[in-house]
Amino acid sequence: MKDISILFVCMGNICRSPLAEGVFTHLVAEARLTDRFTIDSAGTGGWHEGEPPDRRSIAVARNHGIDIAGQRARRIRSIDFVSVDLIVAMDRDNMAEVNRIASSEANIQLFGDVALGTGEDIADPYYGGPEGFELLYTRLLTGCSSLLETLVAERTSCSGNTSSVR
């Protein structure tokens, strides 16, 4: 299997995408596939650059044995569009923004499509309470588990030259 790079994207890179990065990283580590994946997250806006994830995202991750406190928010960069195999947007608004600024080489997918198969947007829990972050964690865990399974199966079945991921 070749390395797969994945970038989770939300608006400010403090709630949804850092938690997705943490969940996916945790699942990859549990599967002993850390050497095969590069996992990151970013935001479409730069309001929180350099800041840690929202304290509620950190708390829900910690409650499930995942540490995301060391992550720092960043804005998506032009290099991401050519260096990342799969860019996963948390909702349609962020997907539209990423598509607006992306190069034609970018592989941009909606989390609800590529990970959940439902087409749903992953709601931003920022303006709500802890229950929204717990629901976010549950949707991300379900989707990231499915996405990991799909990516591993695709890469394992490939001859090494092609993949539907890219």
Does residue 75 have an active-site annotation?
A: no
The two structure tokens encoding residue 140 = 């991300």
Q: Which residues contact 67 (CB under 8 A, 6 or more apart)?
A: 22, 61
Does residue 166 have an active-site annotation?
A: no
Does residue 124 have an active-site annotation?
A: yes
Q: Which residues contact 6 (CB under 8 A, 6 or more apart)?
A: 24, 37, 38, 39, 40, 84, 85, 86, 87, 88, 151
Contact 165, 86 (CB under 8 A): yes
**How large is the C-alpha radius of gyration of the chain?**
15
Catalytic, out of 124, 139, 144, 155? 124
- φ/ψ of 121, rounded to 5, equals -80, 145
Catalytic residues: 10, 16, 124
